[in-house]
Structure 1
Amino acid sequence: MRLDVPVADPDGPGYDAVGLPARYASRLIGRTGGSGCVFADDGWWWWIVPAGSDHGLRWPLPSHYAPGARIPGRRPRLISGADGRSPYTPPIPLYLMTCQLTGSEPHWPVAAPGLRQ
């Protein structure tokens, strides 16, 4: 099933979703600042992020990264709409908060040649 984002721009960059079990998600929702669309069902909550937000990142378990916002056989409802025109939750703060909640160490990709570290 693909999540249907109400404010998605058909000419925009596309979108993916990051899912977390409800036991983590309920603690995370207040920390994301209310930006972006969030969907929920009884077991999982899904944050909409720009397509490719998994590039170079390992989202920690038990989170689930869903390219194209295609999620496993669930029917979640929209619980938080976008505050403005963008359906996205900023992926880097979401990633760092997810790592913190799950007790995981953030894993950053190796820097490209010529970039300072």
Structure 2
Amino acid sequence: MTAAPGGGAVLSLDTLVRLGRASRVPARDPRLRLSLPDGMTAPLGCDAVAAPARLGPLIAPRLPRVGCVYADQSRWWWLVPSDSDYAMDWPAPAQYATGALVPEVTRLIHRPDGTVPYTPPIPLYLALCQAMGATPTWSRPITA
């Protein structure tokens, strides 16, 4: 936050996006937050991206680094840094979960070496697009 001429505060676009998201989260959210394994830290916050479980084994080998991956009955959940949905339209049927809040109990199926739980979001996005037969949004033709 910086000072504006005249003494008021100026908020960055990132701050406004976070504030807007915070105002939409209900007080009693029935979803569950994915927890980090012991010894791991999330300096950039955590969001999660889900893909159908059948695609998980196809996506993982395409990634330069696989972070924490959780699984429920039908999906694999990949931890990514907060705001990894900014300017990216994740392809359906992928799901993006702000705050790593998921609808079901999950179990950890992959823990990376080290202390950082993230899968890099852009390679994950590209691998998901490829596995789902989707075109990345920045590659789509623009129509008037």
- Could you tell me how far apart the structure 2 residues matched to 1:39 and 1:29 are? 13
Matches within 5 A, 1:1-117: 1-6=32-37, 7-9=40-42, 12-72=43-103, 74-108=104-138
**How many Å apart are 1:99 and its aligned residue?**
0.4
Q: Could you list the runs of 5+ residues in structure 1 that have no partner in the other structure?
A: 110-117
* Count of aligned pairs: 106
Q: RMSD of the TM alignment (CA)?
A: 1.6
Q: How does the TM-score come out when normalised to structure 2?
A: 0.69
Q: Which structure would you say has the larger RCO, counting Cα contacts within 8 Å and 6 or more residues apart?
A: 1
Q: Compare CA radii of gyration and give the structure with the larger one.
A: 2
- Report the counterpart of residue 112 of structure 1 in structure 2: none
Deviating runs (4+, > 3 A) in structure 1? Answer: none
Structure-1-length-normalised TM-score: 0.84
Offset, 1:34: 4.9
Identity %: 48
Q: Greater share of helix residues, 1 or 2? A: 2
CA contact (8 A) 2:64 2:123 kept: no
